[in-house]
Amino acid sequence: MNKLDFENIPLGRTFSDHMFICDYHDGKWNQPRIQPLVEIPTHPAAMALHYGQAIFEGMKATLSPDGIPLLFRPKKNAARLNASAERMGMPAFPEELFVEALKTLVEIEHKWIPPQDGSALYLRPFMYADEPFIGMRAATSFKFIIIASPAGPFFSKRIKLYAEKKYIRAAEGGTGEAKAAGNYAAAIRPTEIAKAKGYDQVLWLDAHEHKYIQEVGTMNIFFKIDGKFITPKLDGSVLHGITRMSVIEILKHRGFEVIEREISIDEIKEASKNKTLEEAFGTGTAVGIAYIQEIGMEDETIHVSDESPVGLEVNNKLDAIKTGKERDVFNWMVKVKENYA
Ligand SMILES: Cc1ncc(COP(=O)(O)O)c(C=O)c1O
């Protein structure tokens, strides 16, 4: 840790000293423990490597002004992990133990939480099938692990999206709503193509008509049209973002109408033309809120907006709640420990 320069943290490459680990075998979770972070020997037939039984979560620990580590809605991550586990034929992890493990790990690693504004200790709980077996069935042994990685301040920039019509992220009845590793593998190539075209992220469209908007990159998406917010409804192919549900609550609390429904790319095009498209943004743990400037398609570009005043306000509010600078009226934050005196 002494080698870490908190002003220049390489994203996703630095890990704290410890990890939480628990093994599933004989039909139950065994031996939950926190130990030094080490490499884990893997059998070449480990089923996660072949059949992709692997899921994960992503969340952040922040510091309050008086130095208390805080977690943002950790029970929601526990529930989502188990929803993913169910879809992927994996065992549920006890939700109380999930939260307890996070708290204990963050307590041990609290010095790894970068103190700078906008920084956090990123937490990555994940589960994978480690049973060595060649054959298509659910594994009988798994590992559940939590690792932590300090993340420097993230400056939200305006992003340009590419509306993808060839590749899809998720189809009804598929695994779009699970945080399954394979979903991300399938997104890598289309994202690289969008980046090569000069865009920042892929705008994912529905699998049947390539018309209805699902998500953006690894974020949920919101549009403000004629004073109202619209976000794609959770139809089984959209991840249940915890930032999404929190932004809906903040917007409603601010007095905005928020509608969860199908929204097509044509409707966005139309709203841009007739100047009722006021702003659009993506929401997710990694960045908070990312403002969308334009959406590119094969043959045309939709201009969204150069400013995102409500998005900015919501982002600031989320940040202030997460860092204990503003009263947590929604009761979202969980203290890891009362004090470090
Ligand atoms: C595909 C996808 N959509 C949306 C999100 C946003 O979810 P959350 O707000 O819980 O980070 C994520 C990030 O976890 C994601 O990977």
Question: What is the per-residue pLDDT across 204-250, written as a single tens digit (0 to 9) for each?
Answer: 999 999 999 999 999 999 999 999 999 999 999 999 999 999 999 99
Quote the Cα angle for 275-280-281, to 5°.
170
Token pair, residue 33, equals 């423990």
User: Would you say 176 and 40 are in contact if contact means Cβ atoms under 8 Å apart?
Assistant: no
Which amino acid residue places its CA nearest to atom 2 of ligand 1? Answer: 218
Element (H, E) at 229: strand 228-231
Share of the chain above pLDDT 90, in %: 90
How much is the pLDDT for 9?
A: 84
Q: Measured from the CA of 219, which atom of ligand 1 is nearest?
A: 4
The mean pLDDT of 62-79, rounded to a whole number, is 96
pLDDT above 70 coverage of the chain, percent = 99
Strands (E), 57-169: 59-63, 69-72, 120-129, 142-151, 159-164
Residue 262: is its pLDDT beyond 60?
yes
- Segments of 74-200 assigned E as strands: 120-129, 142-151, 159-164
What mean pLDDT is predicted for residues 153-176?
91
Task: Report the nearest atom of ligand 1 relative to the CA of 285.
Answer: 11
The answer on pLDDT for 64 being more than 90 is yes
Residue 319 has pLDDT above 80, yes or no: yes
Residue 192 is predicted with a pLDDT of 98
Cα torsion through 253, 256, 257, 262, rounded to 10: -100
Q: How confident is the model at residue 131 (pLDDT cuts 50, 70, 90)?
A: very high
| Ligand 1 atom having least distance to the Cα of 179 | 16
Name the residue of 239, 319, 332 whose CB sits within 8 Å of the most ligand 1 atoms, as the mutation to test its pocket. 239
- Closest alpha carbon to 318 in 341, 296, 289, 298: 289
Query: What pLDDT is attached to residue 10?
Result: 80
Residue with CA nearest ligand 1 atom 16: 218
The span from the CA of 128 to the CA of 301, in Å, is 41
For residue 118, name the pLDDT band (cuts at 50, 70, 90).
confident
How much is the pLDDT for 87?
98
Q: What does residue 283 show for φ and ψ, rounded to 5 degrees?
A: -130, 135
Which residues contact ligand 1 via a Cβ below 6 A?
Answer: 58, 215, 218-220, 239, 241-244, 283-285
Statement: the pTM of the whole predicted model exceeds 0.75? yes
The CA–CA distances, whole Å, from 272 to 158, 180, 269, 276, 295 equal: 17, 34, 5, 6, 11
